[in-house]
Structure 1
């Protein structure tokens, strides 16, 4: 069966339009992604992700595209609009709602993005996409850290984080990164609008094993749910399914350690990574 490129949806956003026009001009020039990558001195994989709006076009690419296709500044004019859209279309609706929520409740198997240090975020994103360019990773880290502004703002919403114990045990990056991340968790947990719990290994297999669940309580007390796997996410707004997600979350909350005991477990993890960091420094 002949290869079929992924369909594009230029009508969805400026970011999608940028990618669609990139493919349109590329195909009109009779160039494959590999050939265009050679012309631009650019990664084929990165170009592919830009075409499908998975990655933002980096600075400097638009000028190269206009020069290669003779498009008289078309991509340079489109770039500022595309650059405003930090997240792919499938996440954008969720991000918009999260920015409005009065209460965010989440379960994750890794340190939640709102709680990550820049170094941890960089290591996690690099591990999740080992073929991405440094610029792609830096863009994603900057977008992730920007989302933390509301958590630390003057009038923040309420946050309730449940993290799996594996988030404290599986290293992301080196022991220094994990040490600083554990300390950051303890610092954030001291905020009055934040509740942090650890779901211990003893809780066993549960409804969200292998994924994550977020509940957003909006104005008027309406609630939406968001479930995410390693490569995709689903926004749930149907009342009946949202109610089930709330029940799942309540069970996780009941099985998790108390906030006080959770902080003790994080403190123990911190000491372990501090010891590991000292050992490495002494070698």
Structure 2
């Protein structure tokens, strides 16, 4: 015998602290309740997004029965109020008995590894806020399979903890007391990840600040990032290296580097 399951997905909102932001689904729960007898299986469904994060495009729930039967349902998230879309998550054809439940997500967000210049007239907080407002690239999976025995004729709840290993890094480079001969690109910044040159270089000057934004499949927990800063001080090249920062899961780092003629400073944003 098989059952149809009603699935409710709960995701927490973004929270903030002085240095790092949680992308934050590390303790997300997918709650599943049995409801009604088996109906013909539907493996792909549209479901209204509700409160799910905008960067999550699909959710997949898999129930693997101990006897070998596997039920998989893919849910495509659509806008609230979409005609014909379910307002709740229903998973079909889950076998009565012991099942191992797992969950995962997909995203249609663009992977980004980029630098840019912004005018010095734009405030530091505005620049950082504009970058932070982008949807991150983040994928979520269940922390471990959840074993649960599905019984006939009873309402049950299955909670599946989920997490992401993705992280995000946002940096702003500004100048202070620079005495270069002109307002050209007198400061050059290059990025190193795990000790290897990575991504495009950036440049800033007396008239332009520089930004660095990294959110893609490679920006995951455990990666180490630092910057090499070369200040062309009237023909003299002053080279600095920032401290390495190790990325954490479900987290955004926001930081400002201020370059002076013979030194630089670091400010969490």
How does the TM-score come out when normalised to structure 1?
0.20
Higher relative contact order (CA 8 A, sep 6+): 2
Structure having the higher helix fraction is: 1
